[in-house]
Structure 1
């Protein structure tokens, strides 16, 4: 069932499926220009879990009333939703920017995050990467370069409209020049993290995944490289990914108790 949470500066559309289980709910966080429905196929692989999936502010069916968006605003929107649902703790699967928002949430409120599975999340944002990605999000250039892609995005983001969604997402990327998570911030959360990405991901080099894994220096963390997998979520090998995630959860519990 689709529900809405009204905040001072946004309206958040979300799905919440409750199951009879002692496990924390599983929270799905989509990437920049994504929507919660892109997780539908993956969600079927975890039928025993309570599940939450939302559209971030300015994405999909969620809207914003004013202001820019950045990693902290996305994380605080998630935190507001957890408060409204009276959920103390969640396991998170975050794709791309959703994974970054999960790390920001763990930084802001580590007690609310049981574990994080990041898929194709870019952590290190250099000036070159910010500039390149920002240009790719320019609405006029995108429409001229690929009208079909532009129209597809317009269909995905009816609440704010594709131009506003692109503009606000562009601002989210350029905000990395002002503030980014540090390795120390993530390490200090002590939240178990699985860093995963496809070996054909054109946004997240494998060297960056390994660099962050080494920097976190925790026995609770793990890294997984998915074979023959590019960045878009629709190319995720679902059975393989489910197996990796479940093994990570089991290992994280074991290591926490050790």
Structure 2
């Protein structure tokens, strides 16, 4: 069976892929792993960046003896996979992204960083604070917020991939977006889709940004359909 690597987003972990992985394991050799600082994986001395997370995908593949894999990347995971596809296309057979924010400027980054204030999260959404603490233990989830904020601020100052960069990514790609996603716009998703030479575009109905609210059965069908195409 072909290898399929599932990549989580910022503040996420490999654990929220368990339902999806269970549905896909009959069709693929499914792999998941945590990026640095996420899901209890120790923080690296290297600052968070898209190139850094892309390197961690390549490192995982090397450690597990995978020469080429299909990749599904959610949100930040999709962006890191796109960066890998641009610089090391030989490592990826097919790539699917979901809810990946491709457009960044200082105003956009500042808006997202504002939502990463640990004190505000503890005061206004304590249940989410407890979830983050549990998900990333024994790591300090407040430090994870800080490092993620630095990543987004950096993207705001200089986006890692510009729209024209996607024209050189020639592997088969499918770019997915939920129709109720309030973080990622349809316009930025279509702009990237139009630049990709070998791409499909899909919209998931009734789907917000949070992966936990995605219809796993629907997503499973879209992934399997694209991989067989």
Common fold, TM-score beyond 0.5?
A: yes
The structure 1 residue matched to 2:181, chosen from 201, 210, 221, is: 201
Partner of 1:231: 209
Structure 1 residues 117 and 65, CA, compared in 2 at 3 Å: closer, same or farther? closer
Measure how far apart 1:191 and its partner are: 1.5
Deviation at 1:95, TM superposition (A): 0.7
Partner SS state of residue 63, structure 1: coil
Higher Cα radius of gyration: 1
Report deviation, 1:178: 2.8
Match of 1:33 among 4, 8, 11: 11
| Counterpart pick for 2:218 among 216, 240, 246 | 240
The DSSP-based 3-state class of the residue aligned with 2:93 is strand
User: Separation in 2 of the partners of 1:30 and 1:117?
Assistant: 12
Q: Among residues 56, 59, 66, which one is paired with 1:80 in the alignment?
A: 59
Residue in 2 aligned with 1:211? 191
The Cα shift of 1:126 comes to 2.2
| 2:180–2:208 CA contact under 8 A, matched in 1 | yes
Describe the SS at the equivalent of 1:75.
helix
Q: TM-score, normalised by structure 1?
A: 0.84
Question: Residues 179, 212 of structure 1: CA spacing in aligned structure 2 closer, same or farther, 3 A cutoff?
Answer: closer
1:69 aligns with 2:48: yes
Aligned to 2:78: 99
**3-state SS of 2:109 partner:** helix
Count of paired positions: 227
Cα distance in 2, alignment partners of residues 194 and 150 from structure 1: 33
1-structure distance, mates of 2:192, 2:203: 14
Which of 20, 25, 49 is equivalent to 1:47?
25
**C-alpha distance after superposition, 1:154-189 (max 9, x if no partner):** 111113211111111111111102342123322212
Distance 2:44 2:53 in 1: 14
> How far apart, in 2, do the equivalents of 1:174 and 1:192 lie?
30
Secondary structure of the structure 2 residue equivalent to 1:210? helix
2:136 is the alignment partner of 1:160: no
Matching of residues 103-114 of structure 1 within 5 Å = 103-114=82-93
Shift of 1:139: 1.5
Report the 3-state secondary structure (helix = DSSP H, G, I; strand = E; otherwise coil) of the residue aligned with 1:44.
helix
Matched, 1:191 2:171: yes
Deviations, residues 89-111 of structure 1 (Å, cap 9, x unaligned): 11011111111111111122110
Whether the 8 Å contact between 1:58 and 1:168 is mirrored in structure 2 is: no
Q: Secondary structure at the match of 1:102?
A: helix
| Runs of 4+ that moved beyond 4 A | none
Root-mean-square deviation (Å) = 1.4
Match of 1:178 in 2: 158
Consecutive unaligned residues of structure 1, counting only runs of 5 or more, are 1-20, 252-258
